[in-house]
Amino acid sequence: MTGQDMIGTIRADPFTERLGITSRINEDGIAITTHQCTADECNIFGVVHGALLFAMADVGMGMALTSQLSGKPRVGSITVTSNYIRAGRPGLLRAQSRLLKRGRAVAFLESEICDGEGEICARFSGIFHIYAGETK
């Protein structure tokens, strides 16, 4: 599988399917994850729960990385840092994730999420492990 093979909508895994997160890869290897957030996914203050934003970023960064690897790659997050900028409002959430730098076994990525009002509500940075022998 190459980045070119992954362009378009990505099949959801059971976890993202349950959350209602959809993913797609752009031609430039940028992953876009979206979710239609309702009041049911907000915290007691009526804003988007941070765990949902975290899941969108983690999934998006993993997709962005795998789109840049050949074969059937296996990757996993080592660390993800979250910076919540403002309270996210319900509506269509959109995360844009991209690969910053990649070595043989480690990659650095970032993700920016806009809330239902189109405002940036969070930024994430991630370090991901590329499992040896799983890319060709």
What pLDDT was estimated at residue 82? 98
Q: Is residue 18 part of a domain?
A: yes
pLDDT at 135: 43
Closest CA to 69 of 109, 29, 100: 29
For residue 78, the enclosing domain spans 4-130
Number of structural domains, the chain?
Answer: 1
pTM over 0.95, yes/no: no
pLDDT digits (tens, 9 = 90+) for 94-123: 999 999 999 999 999 999 999 999 999 999
CATH number, domain containing residue 66: 3.10.129.10
Considering only CA atoms, which of 50, 51, 78 is closest in space to residue 62?
A: 78
Residue 92 lies in a domain: yes
Q: Is residue 71 a part of any domain in this protein?
A: yes
Residue 135 maps to a domain:
no
Give the SS3 label for residue 7.
strand
- 46-104 pLDDT tens trace: 999 999 999 999 999 999 999 999 887 899 999 999 999 999 999 999 999 999 999 99
In a domain, 136, yes or no: no
